[in-house]
Amino acid sequence: MLSYNFKYELKLLLRSRWIQLLSIILLLLFGFSTFNGLHKIEKRKKDITAAHSEVEENDAMMLKLLDSVEQGMEVSASRWTIPTSPMAVGNYHPRVAAMEPQPLAFMATGQADLFTHYVKPKVSGDDHTLNFAEMTSPVQLLFGSFDLAFVIVYLLPLLIIAFSYNVLSSERESGSLRLLASQPIRIRSWVLQKMGLRFFWLSVIVLYALCIVFFMVSPPLEQVSAFLGLFGLIIAYMLFWFALAFLINLWIGRSAKNAVALLGLWIAFVLLIPSVLNQLGNTLYPIPSRTLMINEMRSLKAEVTKKQDEILDNFLRDHPEYAINDTTQFRGFYHRYMASQRLIKEELAPMINAYEDQLRKQQDWVGIFKWFSPAIIVQESLNQRAGTSTQDYEDYRKQVVSFAGSWREHFMPFLYNNKNFSQKDYPDLPKFQFVPKSFSSLLTVPLLFLISIGLFGLGFFVSTKMEKNGILTTS
Amino acid sequence: MIITNNLSKRYGDQTALENLNLNIKEGDIYCLLGANGAGKTTTINLLLGFIEPSSGSAFINQLSVHENLKATKRFLAYIPENLMLYPSLSAMENLEYFSGIAGKKLSSQQLKDFLEEAGLQSEAFQKRISNFSKGMRQKVGIAIALAKDAKVLLLDEPTSGLDPKASNEFGLLLQKLRTKGVATLMATHDLFRAKEVATHIGIMKDGQLKQQFVTKDLSLQQLEEAYLNTMKYKELAS
């Protein structure tokens, strides 16, 4: 039966204009979303390159200025900005801490709409005030991005539903089911084979679409395995939707009811469950108000500022390496400021930790219950593969905070030893290099396959009884 | 070939079929006559295994239908009132598909031979079914039965809606199958066609087989009277 089903289902598919149209739509969606994603990545790369160029230009000017000062020439610049002052270098010539896009970043916008991809930590800046938020169009936030992940997570299931909702019911409604059922076959096996062929057909289209995407992106060869992983993920997700369509085809009789049931499941899995989980997460683990937090920080800073002399004394007691025996040297604003910054950081730590703790609890909550919706799992996995997941941006933020610390520490000996910054110190300035980590879980694809196979098994088990009672075969 | 022993089907309080006993042998054509709701289609559905009997048993080629559902379907062919084939496939393709899923692998020449034997004109072999008349589709149905080498043929109102010529051709095809030893059970309203093709005729009413005849023992007029009397259309019978 299999070979004949395969051969003739393929013939029927090839002769169906509806299926041809769906296949073309799928190819166009993949192509357009990739183009869209690549366009965004280009813009992101350009922004980062522009930021680097700006730093290079500033550095060239700084070195020129330093050269002039070192040659004893007078320079027409404010005392605060002359780069012989380490604080001037640390504040007015920061490095770019950029998060370069990953090779597959085009396919999932993920958190990229919400977070910036480069910051310039300053020596006198606070880690918590580093602004990672991106200015984004509210309209875009409302409707989301038309990227490959959107096509895969949201639209592909709809195409699968259109492709498979009436495999059995159309036979019943056209009357050919009675003729089929009079053959020595099991209807559920026959439906499964038809579904299998349609799944195979769509897989071929997806593979073909991914080849086009691959051609458009022309990634390095080592990314081939990433593409294969992506293909595996899409196949597993498709299988889940085909399994649902299989169940609905067996359980419900009429095409219209099948379509409504499958669309209901789409709404539940793709829209409702993610939204409910998010809402529950917010209710169970509310994040403290950011405004309140900033207000508290400000009042703390104001208090600390009042006792800067005392703080500096304590700081110098803790750091004898910065003790000055030369009474001609002075302790000025930045000495007090930088000493108080450390204290502020320590004092604020519990508040920031509480904020991050709640955020982590929310994420853990979603992490546990995400298995209720394959759409969440697939979206998360695509974001992780693209390097645009929450974890990626959190990791980037941590790397930036760590770099900001190094940047600050680099200038401390200059400041407290009252040492001037010179041209020869320039090459030693710390540089930021983002090191991406892989957060992609190896379990996602096998578990999705297992869930789908479970659903197929359930369909088989239940339909055995129904077929025996004649429900499947009579019109 | 086809045997039913006290075969009954009830839906709650409603009796669709009651204690039906049939014994249709090789080469017999048995016509079940009766009004709508008499139990003809229920009998066919039970023999096809589409529904479970409430009591009694049915056998095809000595195998219990409900214990050997898949096996009994290997021996039988079924042509419903409206034979729906795949409209975007040709006659040849439909025949290959249905005989293929029934486990018969046929060459292109064999497919043509079966279609020809069923009386389909050769120029229609490669045409899509969507352009076929009901009579032509019935011929493809017969070709499927021939290709399957069916021992039993179940027909549910096969001549309804056919023009007299097509109906006559269909009758001739049944006669041809009869000579091959196929046991046929045909549910019909068509007394004339029943008298023409059947070896045996049964009249059903309210789920019961009221009368049985050997066709050659009675004339068309006698058959008509028996039918109308059974149906209690006495004024018409007289």
Identify the pLDDT of residue A475: 45
Tell me the CA end-to-end span of chain A in Å, nearest whole number: 22
Point out which residues pair with B62 in neighbouring strands.
none
Our CA dihedral for A465, A471, A472, B2, rounded to 10 degrees, sits at 90
pLDDT at B32 exceeding the cut of 50: yes
Minimal-distance CA residue of chain A relative to B84: A176
Q: What is the pLDDT of residues A147-162, one digit of tens each?
A: 899 999 999 999 999 9
Mean pLDDT of B66-86: 88
Interface of B with A in 172-201 (CB under 8 A): none
Percent of chain B with pLDDT over 90: 41
Q: What is the pLDDT of residue B219?
A: 86
Query: Contact B52/A468, CB-based, under 8 Å?
Result: yes
Q: What residues contact A457, with CB distance under 8 A and at least 6 apart?
A: none
Query: For position A347, what pLDDT does the model report?
Result: 77
ipTM over 0.95 threshold: no
Contacts (Cβ under 8 Å, ≥6 apart) of A276: none
Q: How many residues does chain B have?
A: 238
pLDDT of chain A, 475 residues: tens digit per residue = 678 888 888 888 888 888 888 889 999 999 999 999 999 999 999 999 999 999 999 999 999 988 988 888 887 777 778 888 888 899 899 999 999 998 889 988 888 777 888 888 888 776 555 555 555 555 555 556 788 999 999 999 999 999 899 998 888 888 888 888 898 888 888 888 999 999 998 999 999 898 888 888 777 777 788 888 889 999 999 999 999 999 998 887 789 999 999 999 999 999 999 889 888 888 888 877 767 777 777 787 777 777 777 777 777 777 776 666 655 556 777 777 777 777 777 777 887 788 778 878 888 888 888 889 999 999 999 999 999 988 898 899 889 989 998 998 898 888 888 888 988 999 999 999 999 888 877 888 999 999 999 999 988 887 776 666 565 555 4
DSSP state of A222: G
Average per-residue pLDDT for chain B:
88
Q: What is the CATH number of domain B2-82+153-237?
A: 3.40.50.300
Classified as helix, coil or strand, A431 is coil
Q: Which residues of A touch B48 (CB under 8 A)?
A: 181-182
Q: Identify which of B82, B86, B101 has the shortest CB distance to residue A12.
A: B86
**B29-34/B183-188 β-pairing:** parallel
Put simply, whether A465 touches B (Cβ < 8 Å) is no
Residue type, A60: A
Residue A17 CB-density burial (10 A; 0-12 exposed, 13-18 middle, 19+ buried): exposed
Nearest to B50 among A4, A183, A474 (CB): A474
Mean local confidence (pLDDT), B44-72: 90
Tokens 């639209």, residue? Answer: A155
The encoded tokens of residue A95 equal 């490095």
Name the residue ranges covered by the structural domains of chain A: 1-271+376-475
Contacts of A181 in chain B (CB under 8 A): 48, 50
pLDDT tens-digit map of B200-234: 999 998 899 988 989 888 888 888 888 888 877 65
Asked whether B60 and B75 are in contact (CB, 8 A), the reply is yes
Are B21 and B4 within 8 A, CB to CB? Answer: yes
**Inter-chain touch A183–B102, beta carbons under 8 Å:** yes
A232–chain B nearest CA distance, Å: 32
Interface probe for B, chosen from A171, A172, A179 (most Cβ of B below 10 Å), is: A179
pLDDT confidence of residue B233: 62
Interchain contact, B97 vs A469, CB within 8 Å: no
B229 Cα to chain A: minimum distance (Å): 33
According to the model, what pLDDT value does residue B97 have? 93
User: Residue B194 pLDDT > 80, yes or no?
Assistant: yes
Measured in whole angstroms, the distance separating CA A432 from the mean position of its chain's CA atoms is 21
Task: State the nearest Cα–Cα gap between B172 and chain A, in angstroms.
Answer: 22
Q: Is A67 within 8 Å of A423 (Cβ atoms)?
A: yes
**Which residues from chain A sit within 8 angstroms of residue B74, using beta carbons?**
184
Measured between alpha carbons, how far is A367 from A371 in angstroms, rounded to an integer? 8
The burial of A340, by beta-carbon neighbours within 10 Å (0-12 exposed, 13-18 middle, 19 or more buried), is given as buried
Q: Identify the pLDDT of residue A79.
A: 75
Is residue A200 less than 8 Å (CB to CB) from chain B?
no
Residues A244, A161: contact at Cβ < 8 Å? no
* 3-state secondary structure at position B183: strand
- Per-residue confidence (pLDDT) for residue A333, from 0 to 100: 74
Specify the 3-state DSSP secondary structure of B192.
helix
DSSP lists the bridge partners of residue B155 as B79, B186
Residue A292's pLDDT is what?
A: 75
> Does A183 sit within 8 Å of B98, measured CB to CB?
yes
Check if B165 contacts A (Cβ < 8 Å). no
Q: Is B27 left (phi over 0), alpha (psi -120 to 50) or beta?
A: left
Question: For residue range B111-158, what is the model confidence (pLDDT) as tens digits?
Answer: 999 999 888 899 999 999 998 988 889 889 889 988 988 899 999 988
Cβ contact, residue pair B101, A4, below 8 Å = yes
Average pLDDT for B39-57 = 91
Q: Tens digits of per-residue pLDDT, B178-190?
A: 898 899 999 988 8
Query: Helix, strand, coil shares of chain A as percentages rounded to 5?
Result: 75, 0, 25
The DSSP element (H or E) to which A340 belongs, if any, is helix A333-369
Mutant choice from A182, A464, A471 vs B, greatest count of B C-beta within 10 A: A182
